[in-house]
Structure 1
Amino acid sequence: MSTTGDLSVLIGGGGTGGHVFPGIAVARELVRQCPGVSIVFVGTSRGLEAQAVPRAGFEVEFIRSAGLKGRSWAATVRAAALLPLSAWDAWRVISRRRPDLVVGVGGYSSGPLVLLAALRRIPTMVLEQNAVPGLTNRLLAPFVRAAAVSFDAALASFGSKGFVAGNPVRPEFLEAATVEDTPPEICRLLVLGGSQGARSVNDAMRGAASMLAAIRPRLVITHQAGPADADAVRQAYAAAGVEARVEAFLDPVAPEMRAAQIVLCRAGATTIAELAAVGRASVLVPLATSTDDHQRRNAELIAGAEATELLAQRDLQADVAERLGALARDPARRTRMAGAIKQFAHPEAARTIVDRALRLVRA
């Protein structure tokens, strides 16, 4: 194996952008450091990785897998029944690809791949993006050789194997922003509901459309609403006279974030890392049903540094227009928040992770 040509790496996991995009960032850094490296992602055909990974220029293989936690009893039984098939699929991928390194980026599909690789004494590492480690990574902790975490709070789950690297973001979030003068009578708002949109965020913005139209300075909105809600959200804004561009999915999203003055979004760790990299004021709405309430924990850490406004999902419908209006009218506070969140930025996260991973391979 040569770290410049013959290195073979599997990156397992996914499901959502919060897992997939850090994996892509690490893959790109591996390519930068090791020209000729072979990288294959391993996930499920239902996850975002099925579209995002090929679009980023990498190969993806699929295994049969489903999550066990936070599901109905019947769904949990079906997921448990898939475990032998997941293990078989993962074993075949490992045997065929013969990796020198396996990296788990979170999500249930990373479990069988990383565990079997560890049992075969292949160097393994996991990435933990959240303040509260997910079930899969907690179960893998005794078996992996290293764990890269984004928050100090997650270190306890991994003991001496854990190290704080930050959450790697795609390179486009690290590019210098083109300064665009925004007239003082306008405030640009970006609404993100995660990689698939968010029904509660969409419903709240639709319900508040008439109040949003009355905010001064005037809101100009770009809204990622997901494929199911995009038309309804677009119609609600138009009926209220709100200037808005509504898309099912924004790709690339980095230019939209750089152009915004306020971002309304969920509190997933990757979204927070992107906000920190760009440096933007935000209103974070933690997903109430997130596993182990990890989004609330993420948001509380950021809000504790006065780097965001935290809005509980139960208060979203009633308070979203008021919170956005207050921020729109207070450019000084937006500037303070944008500066404060940068303390959570780790522009070298991908390099730090890859450096440690290559040391594992060479050991």
Structure 2
Amino acid sequence: MSPPVARFSLPAVACAAGGTGGHLFPAEALARELQRRGHPVVIYTERRGAAYTQALAGLDHVVLPARSLEGGLRGKLAAGLTILRAAWQARTDMRRRGVGVLVGFGGYPSFAPALAARSLGKPLLLHEQGARLSLANQKLLRLADGVATSFPATAGLDGFDPARVVDTGNPVRAAILDARGDYPALGGDAPLRLLVVGGSQSARVFGEVVPPALLQLPDALRRRLQVSLQMKGGAAGEVETALRTAGIEATVRPFFDDMGARLRDAHLVVTRAGATTAADLLTVGRPAVMVPIPQGGSRDEQRRNAEALAAAGVGWCVPEPELTAERLAALLVDAFASPTVLPAAARAALALGRPDAASALADRVQAALGIGDGTAA
């Protein structure tokens, strides 16, 4: 039997997010801002999302069954039944909590809660993290009352009333907001800090290319480097030992739970180009070598993100097939040799950041609930 739900003076808000950090972290950021304003909040996700225990700490969350609609007829039928079962569970939970609005953050696990909210006659807001509407948000668009975007120009909204679209930016976690500060000094013999992260989908290519690239660097540069390398697999210890033997102060881990602090201290980041990663970089103001996941076709979101940021001076877009140890080593040598290149890229990143995104999206949620202009606590 479900425990009783405490009653609050303000309506409850539900967030629905897929199981990756790219979907879940913006939902967390919004949830905590709404909690601060006095709203009870629940996050609906699936088992992968529930594994982000630090992100969900102190937040009510419900794990729903989820299955992608990809596959043949049998797979689609099984997915349809899973969605219906999850929608029924979400609907029951929403009624119990008195949910007044649902905010969907994309990913196929957001489908069922969106259907549940609409079946209860509750407003549905969609938040899009990328420069193009995700597949889940695209399919839910006709049910949506409004869309919040992370980029001023977001593809895939053709036919949707522009008056119901607002550019809020992409909410980031408190740890990222707390990491904002001056770009670290580069002069003299001060350490040069390189952060290499692959995101929730990881990046095996970083583990294959980055260590040999670092070993090709000149000795003087290696001895100034402090490297934080996210690398999954059993070879992490061997890689760390090899780098330290070459004079590089290296920390190699499968996951960093202090990402805000490492991002704050970094002079340069080597990373994927997901929308949430981009938002973190811009909020803190750090230059990056962006290696988009090779998706291909019209939905090549990460490539578009990386190219747009590179064009804005935030860093470099290096397609994965072109990421070789030789190219990365040459890029690092040039970047760290210049006293102006990295600080200029950091300033370009910071100028594009939206640290107020969670607040702006919370305003939109409260407006959907009919709470003044959305700024009341």
In 1: Cα distance, 2:8 partner to 2:169 partner = 25
Of 231, 234, 240, which aligns to 1:234? 240
Structure 1 residues 78 and 287: CA distance shift in structure 2, 3 A:
farther
Total equivalences in the alignment: 357
In 2: Cα distance, 1:114 partner to 1:227 partner = 37
TM superposition outliers: structure 1 runs of 4+ over 6 Å:
71-77
Question: What is residue 295 of structure 1 aligned with on the other side?
Answer: 302
The answer as to 2:212 corresponding to 1:204 is: no
Task: Return 143-152 or 157-166, whichever deviates more.
Answer: 157-166
In 2: Cα distance, 1:208 partner to 1:177 partner = 29
Question: What is residue 355 of structure 2 aligned with on the other side?
Answer: 347
1:202-224 deviation line (CA, Å, top 9, x unaligned): 11113324214646273210122
Aligned partners of 1:227 and 1:249 also within 8 Å: no
Instruction: Using the TM superposition, give the Cα deviation of residue 41 of structure 1 relative to its aligned residue in structure 2, in angstroms.
Output: 0.9
Question: What is residue 58 of structure 1 aligned with on the other side?
Answer: 59
Instruction: Using the TM superposition, give the Cα deviation of residue 72 of structure 1 relative to its aligned residue in structure 2, in angstroms.
Output: 8.8
One-letter amino acid matched to 2:166? F
In 2: Cα distance, 1:322 partner to 1:187 partner = 16
Structure 1 residues 102 and 339: CA distance shift in structure 2, 3 A:
same
One-letter amino acid matched to 1:10? A
Aligned partners of 1:213 and 1:241 also within 8 Å: no
One-letter amino acid matched to 2:106? G
Instruction: Using the TM superposition, give the Cα deviation of residue 246 of structure 1 relative to its aligned residue in structure 2, in angstroms.
Output: 1.5
Instruction: Using the TM superposition, give the Cα deviation of residue 309 of structure 1 relative to its aligned residue in structure 2, in angstroms.
Output: 0.7
Of 147, 170, 173, which aligns to 1:170? 173
One-letter amino acid matched to 1:304? A
Q: Is the radius of gyration larger for structure 1 or structure 2?
A: 2
Instruction: Provide the aligned C-alpha RMSD in A.
Output: 2.7
Structure 1 residues 273 and 119: CA distance shift in structure 2, 3 A:
same
Of 350, 366, 369, which aligns to 1:361? 369
Q: Which secondary structure state, in structure 2, belongs to the residue aligned with residue 331 of structure 1?
A: coil
TM-score by length of structure 2 reads 0.86
TM-score by length of structure 1 reads 0.89
The answer as to 2:30 corresponding to 1:26 is: yes
Q: Which secondary structure state, in structure 1, belongs to the residue aligned with residue 83 of structure 2?
A: helix
Question: What is residue 47 of structure 1 aligned with on the other side?
Answer: 49
Structure 1 residues 230 and 40: CA distance shift in structure 2, 3 A:
farther
One-letter amino acid matched to 1:207? P
For structure 1, the 5+ residue unaligned runs are none
One-letter amino acid matched to 1:128? E
Of 315, 319, 339, which aligns to 2:322? 315
Instruction: Using the TM superposition, give the Cα deviation of residue 295 of structure 1 relative to its aligned residue in structure 2, in angstroms.
Output: 0.4
1:128-186 deviation line (CA, Å, top 9, x unaligned): 00001110001111111111101123165143222111111112322343776566333
Structure 1 residues 320 and 67: CA distance shift in structure 2, 3 A:
farther
In 1: Cα distance, 2:106 partner to 2:117 partner = 15
1:264-294 deviation line (CA, Å, top 9, x unaligned): 1110111111111111111111011389210
Task: Return 339-348 or 234-243, whichever deviates more.
Answer: 234-243
